[in-house]
Amino acid sequence: MSGVNMLAHLILERLSVQVLPRVPETGLVMEDLAQNEAFTLAGREGGILAFVYLYQALQIIPLVRRGDRVLDLGCGPANQLVQIARINPGVNFIGLDASAEMLDRASETIHRSGVTNIDLASGDMTELAQFSDATFDCVISTMSLHHLPDISALSNTMSMARRVLKPGGGWYFVDFGRFKRSATQRFFAEDRRDCQPENFTRDYFNSLRAAFSVDELSQAVKVFGSGVTCYTTALAPFMVILKSGERRKPDATTCQAARNMYRQMSASQQKDFRLYAHWLRAGGLNLPFSLD
């Protein structure tokens, strides 16, 4: 991230009083082959999104227990889900997506990774018709909610997630928050234009425009009752994380697996991870354990 320019945009965001309208994505189910290929590659081990995925995987660790059944809403090509599953081998995961093409990519990702604790399911996250009440110990969604068409779909998704969650279960939702300025959206989408495909840049910008506001996301998760915690990146809601309370303390084996994944990253990815973690720490969210 370009530090000085980013800080300038964030300060302007903080000072701005305007409110941008949400612009839903035109393709609500990701079936564009070139777009999906760019997104898939960005999330792999050497991709520009890998450090974000590791961060989310670490935050999810305290929410899942050995033997749990966990539902991932909008799993996409499963790069994020594979990281989570690899760190938590004693947990059973189901990745749900409405895109047949994405599920094909997810199957390839899972096969390539060698993880054995992920199953895939086709379905609409606003309905979850194939799942009975109280069948999951945890429900997660990482960077998928902005694909929903409107507030009604967001509310339905949260209501269905609550329905299939067992009493006392955990949940974790993370997505973009809506900026106040179009210039800030453009900056974040184009900041690393030199190392990402043009269609990825375009999709990134459209995703930021389609983001729900912090208030809209916070209102939607009220269906889960008490214990709702909302965190955003400092100064402006580039990322919004909504999560339940912890369900376990990370054990030594899990922590070591996460540290090994961090050490396998390149120096630039580790730097990005630290900056990202610091940005969220400034917003009130700490890592569940040290990677040192």
Topology adopted by domain 3-281? Rossmann fold (3.40.50)
Binned at pLDDT 50, 70 and 90, residue 45 comes out as low
pTM for the complete prediction?
0.93
HEC-encoded secondary structure of the chain: CCHHHHHHHHHHHHHCCCCCCCCCCCCCCCCCHHHHHHHHHHCCCCCCCHHHHHHHHHHHHHHCCCCCEEEEECCCCCHHHHHHHHHCCCCEEEEEECCHHHHHHHHHHHHHHCCCCEEEEECCCCCCCCCCCCCEEEEEEECCHHHCCCHHHHHHHHHHHHHHEEEEEEEEEEEECCCCCHHHHHHHHHCCHHHCCHHHHHHHHHHHHCCCCHHHHHHHHHHHCCCCEEEECCCCCCEEEEECCCCCCCCHHHHHHHHHHHHCCCHHHHHHHHHHHHHHHCCCCCCCCCCC
Predicted confidence at residue 43, as pLDDT, reads: 45
Please give the structure tokens belonging to residue 105: 């990519």
pLDDT per position as a tens digit, 228-240: 899 999 999 999 9
> What pLDDT sits at residue 32?
56
Report pLDDT for 149: 96
pLDDT value of residue 205: 95
Show me where the domains of the chain are located.
Answer: 3-281
